[in-house]
Amino acid sequence: MHDIRALRDHPDTFVSGWKSRGVEDAQAVVDKALELDRTLRAAQTAGQEALAKRNAASKLIGAAMAKKDMTEAERLKAEVESLKGEIAAQEAVEAGAGKALRDLLAAQKNLAADDVPEGADEAGNVEVTRWGLLSEGGPNRDHADLGEALGLLDFEAAARMSGARFAVLKGGLARLERAIGQFMLDVQTTEHGYLEVNPPYLVRDEAMFGTGQLPKFEEDLFRVDEHLLIPTAEVSLTNLVREQILSEDEMATPMRLTALTPCFRAEAGSAGRDTRGLIRQHQFHKVELVSITRPEDSDAEHERMVRCAEAVLEKLELPYRRMLLCKGDMGFSARKTFDLEVWLPSQGTYREISSCSNCGDFQARRMDARFKRAGEKKTEFVHTLNGSGLAVGRTLVAIMENYQETDGSIRVPDALAPYMPKGMTHVGGPR
């Protein structure tokens, strides 16, 4: 959500900021917002003036009646009734303009940070770093073909019961996926200081609004009666501080939260993309990282979060690169985003496996999540950050492709050995 006072004081900043994020009618949006703001404030002023007049007239009625001046008393009563109607009319204008203004601002993307590069789409993203050596000369079979050949990945059975974009994992492959999730969770909690949380998977509309999935992206969500299935644990974890005022002691160090949950996405806007395999599923698991910070701490926390995600890839010895997303490719709520992309030999390219975003106070305003510094009367909005630490299914894909052997088996990375049955060094091959 955006601060109307900031928009009122710096309209050009919002016009240029939204244009750079792909909002073609940015000037019209700003003009409409300012018009609604003027209407809202005018109605508030007129309503307050009418209320003051009504209160004054009401007091005079008693004085007139005490003097037995019934003509004046009746005139004042008529004035009071008229003013009641004026107050109600202005309240209706205020309510309508207020809702229209909130709806308009709620549909607008966050403004990008100053150091985010210009660009309309992924072509404008900038590679920051690259880690790991790419395997050369080894097998580069696609993970879907590899899993099906081993009899451990079944898309047909999943389609019979659930339709497209679902998969059934069996045996050693199912065990390997479970090991990946537990390994990631252990790294983030024991080494990086994140607090493990087991949150709800079903949330109300207000929670989705708070993190920015609603109202604009409802078609990407799965609804179950009055609830929605989470597309990421970012929703549940970030909303833990909704409608809260945290103390300075609670915010002295960033609040760091993590969860391993299933995620559910309709993928409404991805028709024809990654229709085969595990890259883009309706249901998958992910270890999510969320931080709640003071404004002055969020940039440093963003870098720390990215390093926490990178550490998992490095422990698994998976080649990756870090990308700084341009303004046109960032998510709705983000002010700055780094993507981590892992190497997939079968595609001869890097694919996204983690996205770490600093949202500034954008989500906090939507959730009314604030904190108060010691000795201060006013409150401030917190900053929120989120990132994948990592997507479990895509990590499984990367391991299958980067650790495949010539005999068709998949070698278990050393970091995952403690999470697998004793002596199981390969999936689908020698044990």
Torsion (CA) 306, 307, 311, 313 in degrees, nearest 10: 40
386 annotated ligand binder? yes
Looking at residue 189, what DSSP letter applies?
I
Residue 355 a catalytic site member? yes
Strands (DSSP E) found in 345-405? 349-358, 370-372, 380-381, 383-391
Q: Which of 346, 355, 357, 409 is catalytic?
A: 355
Looking at residue 309, what DSSP letter applies?
H
322 annotated ligand binder? no
Residue 133 near residue 345, CB atoms below 8 Å: no
Residue 49 a catalytic site member? no
Round to whole Å and give the CA distance between 270 and 272.
6
160 annotated ligand binder? no
Residue 390 near residue 275, CB atoms below 8 Å: no
Q: Which of 165, 265, 322, 335 is catalytic?
A: 265
Round to whole Å and give the CA distance between 363 and 106.
10
Q: What are phi and psi of 37, to 5 degrees?
A: -65, -40
**Neighbouring C-beta atoms of residue 282, cutoff 10 Å:** 18
Residue 175 a catalytic site member? no
HSE of 413, CA atoms in CB hemisphere, 13 A: 22
As a residue count, the chain comes to 431
267 annotated ligand binder? yes
266 annotated ligand binder? yes
256 annotated ligand binder? no
354 annotated ligand binder? yes
233 annotated ligand binder? yes
Q: Which of 8, 130, 141, 280 is catalytic?
A: 280
Q: In the structure encoding, which two tokens stand for residue 117, read together?
A: 């590069």
Element (H, E) at 303: helix 298-315
Residue type, 226: E
Residue type, 126: V
Residue 273 a catalytic site member? no
Q: What are phi and psi of 241, to 5 degrees?
A: -105, 10
Residue 304 a catalytic site member? no
**Neighbouring C-beta atoms of residue 288, cutoff 10 Å:** 28
Q: Which of 196, 352, 380, 405 is catalytic?
A: 352
234 annotated ligand binder? yes
33 annotated ligand binder? no
Q: Is it true that the peptide bond before 215 is cis, omega within 30 degrees of 0?
A: yes
265 annotated ligand binder? yes
Q: In the structure encoding, which two tokens stand for residue 385, read together?
A: 């950050």
Q: Which of 21, 394, 401, 409 is catalytic?
A: 394
Q: Binding site residues, as ranges?
A: 232-234, 265-267, 288, 352-355, 386, 388
Catalytic residues: 265, 280, 352, 355, 394
Residues of the binding site for ATP: 265-267, 352-355
Could you list the residues known to form a binding site for L-serine, using ranges. Answer: 232-234, 265, 288, 386, 388
